């Protein structure tokens, strides 16, 4: 039987049918993704939902630790109180300075360490394990350890710097706000740089080796290869690492509270909120400060993702 125009041997599906079938597959994938994510979302809603909504509610009341059950709705007065408090804006500035400087240094040092660990040399596995030690130490433990090391009388930091001739006499690092902030940034960089190095190293190991072989054939220098090949390919990884670290830095509390307490010159937003909640026993204004921290971090995350989206599309 010969094929004619009315009876083709191979029937080609209509474009509309293929489009509907593709939409069905896409819808199914999205549906199953929500099904698998549902247990995690429900667990987060149960565990974190009630405290979060409770904090939002308390921020609109005059609740205090002594009269928590007798709280009255006061509208936005708590937010007005916090936003008109100079100590709040000082805490915001301290948090911004701490976050920008510490995350920037951690990204640079983490990139350098990741490049070293990505190369092949004897003892690389042992060095990788040793680099992670500062990150494995709990923050409170490392903060207390560095507090003793920065002591102006018997601290090892002053002793070493005086022996090297950098300082003429010991410095009370944790007594002056400017030197205290520098010490806080130093400790945070020491502790968290391994985390950045670990994430960036994972991105470096995903780079195909073929591109480096092609660069060798083109006789490109290592510096040119880094800026033209390595850095663009690991830019998404660096972006994710910066987001993670920025979120941690913006809500930093334990390191600052252990090393500097509630000093206004170094207090961060979280320290300010804790002081309002616990020391002043003002649950309303403390909850308002906590909500503001939540909103600031949320806006930062959305804004950062919006800024890096065009570069990710190009890469």
Mapped to the 3 state alphabet, what secondary structure does the chain carry? Answer: CCCCCCCCCCCCCCHHHHHHHHHHHHHHHHHHHHHHHHHHHHHHHHHHHHHHHHHHHHCCECCECCCCCCCCECCCHHHHHHHCCHHHHHHHHHHHHHHHHHHHHHHHHHHHHHHHHHCCCCCHHHHHHHHCHHHHCCHHHHHHHHHHHCCCCCCHHHHHHHHHCCCCCCCCCCCCHHHHHHHHHHHHHHHHHHHHHHHHHHHHHCCCHHHHHHHHHCCCCHHHHHHHHHHHHHHHHHHHHHHHHHHHHHCCCHHHHHHHCCCCCCCCHHHHHHHHHHHCCEHHHHHHHHHHHHHHHHHHHHHHHHHHHHHHHHC
The pLDDT value recorded for residue 21 is: 61
Domain ranges of the chain: 14-46, 77-314
For 136, other C-beta atoms within 10 Å of its C-beta total: 10
Answer whether residue 206 shows pLDDT above 70: yes
Q: Note the pTM of the prediction, 2 decimals.
A: 0.80
Answer whether residue 89 shows pLDDT above 90: yes
Which of 46-55, 103-112, 282-291 shows the lowest per-residue confidence on average (mean pLDDT)? 46-55
Answer whether residue 3 shows pLDDT above 50: no
CATH superfamily of 77-314: MetI-like (1.10.3720.10)
Angle in degrees, CA 226, 232, 235, rounded to 5: 115
The pLDDT value recorded for residue 99 is: 93
User: Tell me: the pLDDT tens digits for 257-315?
Assistant: 999 888 888 899 999 999 988 888 888 888 999 999 999 988 888 887 787 766 555 55
């Amino acid at each position: 039987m010969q094929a004619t125009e009315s009876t083709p041997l191979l029937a080609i599906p209509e474009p509309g049918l293929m489009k509907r079938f593709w939409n069905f597959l896409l819808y199914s994938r999205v549906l199953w993704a929500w099904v698998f994510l549902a247990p995690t979302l429900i667990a987060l809603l149960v565990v974190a939902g009630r405290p979060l909504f409770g904090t939002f509610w308390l921020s609109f009341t005059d609740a205090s630790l002594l009269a928590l059950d007798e709280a009255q709705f006061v509208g936005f007065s708590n937010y007005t109180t916090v936003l008109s408090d100079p100590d709040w804006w000082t805490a915001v500035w301290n948090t911004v300075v701490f976050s920008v400087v510490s995350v920037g240094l951690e990204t640079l040092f983490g990139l350098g360490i990741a490049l070293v660990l990505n190369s092949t040399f004897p003892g690389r596995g042992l060095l990788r394990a040793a680099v992670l030690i500062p990150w494995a130490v709990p923050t409170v433990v490392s903060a207390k350890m560095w507090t003793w090391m920065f002591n102006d009388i018997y601290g090892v930091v002053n002793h070493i710097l005086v022996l090297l001739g950098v300082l003429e006499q010991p410095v009370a690092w944790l007594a002056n706000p400017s030197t205290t902030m520098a010490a806080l940034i130093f400790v945070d960089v020491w502790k968290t740089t391994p985390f950045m190095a670990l994430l960036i190293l994972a991105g470096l190991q995903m780079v195909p080796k073929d591109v480096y072989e092609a660069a060798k054939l083109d006789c490109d220098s290592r510096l040119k290869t880094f800026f033209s090949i390595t850095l663009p390919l690991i830019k998404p990884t660096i972006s994710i690492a910066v987001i993670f670290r920025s979120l941690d830095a913006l809500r930093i509390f334990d390191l600052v509270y252990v090393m500097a307490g509630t000093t206004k010159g170094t207090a961060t937003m979280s320290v300010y909120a804790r002081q309002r909640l616990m020391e002043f026993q003002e649950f309303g204004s403390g909850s308002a400060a906590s909500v503001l921290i939540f909103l600031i971090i949320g806006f930062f995350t959305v804004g950062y993702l919006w800024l890096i989206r065009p570069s990710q599309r190009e890469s």
